[in-house]
Structure 1
Amino acid sequence: MREFQLNAFKFAAIVAFGGFIFGLDAALISGTVRFITAEFALSDLQVGTVVSAPGFGVIFALMVTGRICDAWGRKIALLIIASLYLLSAVASVLAPNFEMLVVARFLGGLAFTSLSLASMYIGEIAPPEMRGKLVSVNQITTVVGLSAAYFANYLILMASNADAAWVTALGIDRFTWRWMLGVEVLPALVWLLMLLAIPESPRWLVLKGRLHDARGVLTRLLPEGQIEGQIREIQASAASAPVGSFRQQVAEVFKPRLRTAFWVGLVIAVAQPITGINAIMFYAPTVFEQVGIGTDAAFLQAVVVGVISVLFTALALLLIDRVGRRPLVLFGLAWGGASLFLCSWAFSHASYALSAASLQSLTAAGIDISGLQTLVGTVFADDVAFKQAMYQVLGEAVARANEGILIQEAINIDATLVLGGIMCFIASFNMSIGPVMWVLFSEIFPTRVRGIAIPFFALIVSTVSYFVQQFFPWQLNNMGATEIFLFYAVCITVCLALLFYLLPETKNKSIEEIEASLVRA
């Protein structure tokens, strides 16, 4: 690898490390749900508010990130984002109450635009022959961050249950959820410091008329003979960019000539989060507790989710230019929908009943079983009825704090079927619409509107994701596992049907060829 290629790889790796921070921030909260619910006596909607606060924050951030990038540069924007991640992590650890925890998480959400900004920066500094591979590094670091978060949560949970002096001295047993959220602090600080070493985007420098500075950066990123050609290409691209106010530029996306591209983008933007992926990724241990495997095993299963995410994302990156975008998306949605239908069917055949033996296990766990004696032998047909009975007998706070072991002792279900279905769903998402969505966004819109169209549809993705995260706890306790898995399976099926009709194949086609097939004269 030549020196300019090594430089491009180094800068791309530094910026893509933000994907790792994003993965940590997004997934660490999954391990804290049970702890913060008990400590702050949260309702279902309050739990959803804590978990979804970053998703709410990113909606606002997407509205201003582009303007900050254009006014102050990509590097400054990245430094602001890294600072927000660090501030959010520290504030989350120290949060004294529910309200401050929500504010701290909201600040982290303002930094969630790191994914789109990192892709923009890497695309602008990468040599053409390395651009696809370097941009894809961002997706890999994200799922590695998710996997690392689940693993860290599991290790901290195991430590909190250990009878060791160092655990007590560090307060891991008393402040378990704060230690989980604190995992993000050091990586966020490291990323902030590393970003100081990257150069400004040469594209931004050219657009600002700083040609001397742009040449200085490009000498580190391109062979000498390509520098002036690259500058002319940037200037030509800028000349064809849309003009007018922000509202006028957005209006370009809605014009009849872009109608086909618009509908493809809209369905993909809704389909990706409406699969329910964020419900599982952000609440992973909670989801697995519903199967009755217990809290410790639920945290371990979350680690498996992270590993599967990494493996199948890597598989998607290997296949996307060989198999094509359309087959991956359609196959992945079909597989994912079938997997969730399987989970729904398994929960529909589950039953819940406490026995005398299960009461002994609950006593050993420190739960007052005096009120449960009258429920021995009573069979509940679904998890909603069982949870309501537990709330009435034990009190909602106690029942919520011990939900994992209560379900474990009462449920009768084919757990292997559910776990297999969830793992297949995770695999299908990460080899299809998860990573492929961003590739399609970069291909289906003409160059002159892409800078507006991608943030616009990213905003739609973030908005739908926010509602999925916000209402999942309420859905789980009011609709039940059977209905919620069925709901997401039906959503996937509808999106599959629409994309089967709308989605074109863009593999091995130039941007101009794709534009010609999608844009009306």
Structure 2
Amino acid sequence: MPTSQVSWRFPLGFQALLALGTVVFVPFLVESPRWLCLKDRHEDARAVLARLHAKPIDSPEVRETLEIIIETIAEERADGEIGWRDVFHNGRQQTFRRILLGLGVSIFQQLGGINVVAYYLPVVLERSFGFSPRMALILSAIDSMQWMFWGAMNTFLIERNLGWRFYIVFAVLNAAFLPFIWLFYVETAGLSLDEIDRVFVLKHAEGSTLTYKQATEQAKEQLEIERLEISARPEKSGVGTDHVESVA
């Protein structure tokens, strides 16, 4: 089988079959509330938020989240239209800095050695362990389906052939990532997209001396105050509950 066309045609065809299954379900996915608000489809956004929060469409949580998204978009529009060049410059929201942070995560992952197991496992099994090509492919397929289990098993098997020194390279690289993460990465656990935007705006505002931690605390405080103000004022016209049944 490894020397026949089935050995490479079947994996490719099987993946395409699964991809077709994904395409079938795409029409049933809802748009994000933020995208809907960007298109001024506030009622649709409210319905989606209600489904995400598992709350009635007229609940305070849904209303507050919707109005914060609308106000955030209004602030972004007030800054003017953003072009592709602006993506590579640091404005109020530090767009380019945030892109680099996202790229950094992917780079760290690659340098950490994850692809040795993810992509080259058949080669490792065949050349380092003496498995036949057929058995190497079978074990690689099992590893893909049972990632956590076989990942732990391969740790012990590779050590017998390559020795413990092989892991020093990845250990040093992972240790080197820690200062970068500590100095440049922002803790985003539990933060909404609007809160993350506010953190970067506060941190990099002109004359600001805030740390990221202080900016995060201030962003949460500001948005909490805004939520209280939203809950205390009458609902804006044009952000009602009409015509929601069609998208719920």
TM range (shorter): 0.5 to 0.7
1:286 and 2:156 are equivalent in the alignment: no
TM superposition shift of 1:240: 4.0
> Residues of 2 paired with 1:231 and 1:507: CA distance?
20
TM superposition shift of 1:252: 0.9
CA contact (8 A) 2:143 2:150 kept: no
C-alpha displacement of 1:290: 0.9
More helix by share: 1
Match of 2:109 in 1: 272
Structure 2 match to 1:184: 15
Is the counterpart of residue 302 in structure 1 residue 140 in structure 2?
A: yes
Aligned residues: 187
Asked if residue 498 in structure 1 is aligned to residue 241 in structure 2, the reply is no
Q: State the Cα deviation string for residues 122-171 of structure 1 (Å, max 9, x = none).
A: xxxxxxxxxxxxxxxxxxxxxxxxxxxxxxxxxxxxxx48xxxxxxxxxx
The CA distance in 2 between the partners of 1:279 and 1:299, in whole Å, is: 15
CA shift in 2, pair 1:288/1:503, >3 Å: same
What residue number does 1:517 align with?
211
Correspondence 1:232 to 2:63: no
5+ residue gaps, structure 1, are 1-159, 162-171, 314-338, 343-413, 422-484
**TM-aligned CA deviation for residue 190 of structure 1:** 1.6
SS of the residue corresponding to residue 248 of structure 1 reads helix
Per-residue Cα deviation, 1:173-207 (whole angstroms, up to 9, x for no partner):
55332122111232222211111122222221111
- The percentage of aligned residue pairs carrying the same residue is 25
- What is the CA–CA distance in structure 2 between the aligned matches of 1:311 and 1:251, rounded to whole Å? 44
Counterpart for residue 209 of structure 1: 40
**CA–CA separation in structure 2 for the residues paired with 1:184 and 1:300:** 16
Q: 1:435 corresponds to which residue?
A: none
Equivalent residues in 2 for 1:223-372, closer than 5 Å: 223=55, 224=57, 225=59, 226-241=61-76, 243=80, 244-252=82-90, 267-291=104-128, 292-306=130-144, 309-310=147-148
Q: How far is the alpha carbon of 1:508 from its aligned partner?
A: 6.5
TM superposition shift of 1:502: 3.0
- Tell me: CA distance 1:498–1:262, structure 2 relative to 1, closer, same or farther (3 Å): farther
Q: Deviations over 1:339-390 (max 9, x none)?
A: 7xx9xxxxxxxxxxxxxxxxxxxxxxxxxxxxxxxxxxxxxxxxxxxxxxxx
Q: What does 1:309-458 align with in structure 2 at a 5 Å threshold?
A: 309-310=147-148, 417-418=160-161
**Is 2:112–2:174's contact at 8 Å kept on the other side of the alignment?**
no
Shift in CA distance, 495/509, structure 1 to aligned 2, threshold 3 Å: farther
Distance change >3 Å, CA 519–CA 237, structure 1 → 2:
same
Task: Provide TM-score, normalisation by structure 2.
Answer: 0.55
- 1:356 maps to none
In structure 2, distance between residues paired with 1:218 and 1:415 = 48
Answer yes or no: is the 8 Å Cα contact 1:264–1:499 preserved in 2. no
Question: SS at 1:200's partner residue?
Answer: coil
Letter in 2 for 1:229: E
Label 1:312 to 1:420 Cα distance change in 2 as closer, same or farther (>3 A).
farther
Q: Deviations over 1:34-57 (max 9, x none)?
A: xxxxxxxxxxxxxxxxxxxxxxxx
For residue 262 of structure 1, report the CA deviation from its aligned partner.
Answer: 8.2
The DSSP-based 3-state class of the residue aligned with 1:290 is helix
Code of the aligned partner of 1:273: Q
Q: What code does the residue aligned with 1:238 have?
A: I
**Residues 275 and 489 in structure 1, CA contact (< 8 A), matched pair in contact too:** no
Residue matched to 1:331: none
How far did 1:280 drift?
3.5
Note if contact 2:37-2:45 (Cα within 8 Å) is conserved in structure 1.
Answer: yes
Out of 172, 190, 196, the residue aligned to residue 27 of structure 2 is 196
Distance 1:232 1:184, change over 3 A: same
Residue 211 of structure 2 aligns to a residue whose secondary structure is helix
Offset at residue 216 of structure 1 (A):
4.1
Alignment RMSD (CA, Å)? 4.5
Check whether the contact 1:285–1:302 (CA below 8 A) recurs between aligned residues: yes
Q: Whole-Å Cα distance in 1 between the matches of residues 5 and 211 of structure 2?
A: 60
Shift of residue 281, structure 1, vs aligned partner: 1.7
Contact 1:267 1:495 in 2 (8 A): no
- How far apart, CA to CA, are the structure 2 residues paired with 1:509 and 1:202? 18
Q: 1:302 to 1:420 in 2, by over 3 A?
A: farther
Amino acid at match of 1:289: E
Q: Who is 1:136 aligned against?
A: none
Structure 2 counterpart of 1:245, one-letter code = G
**TM-score normalised by length of structure 1:** 0.29
Q: Is the 8 A contact 1:202 1:217 kept in 2?
A: yes
- Structure 2, unpaired ranges of 5+: 204-209, 216-248
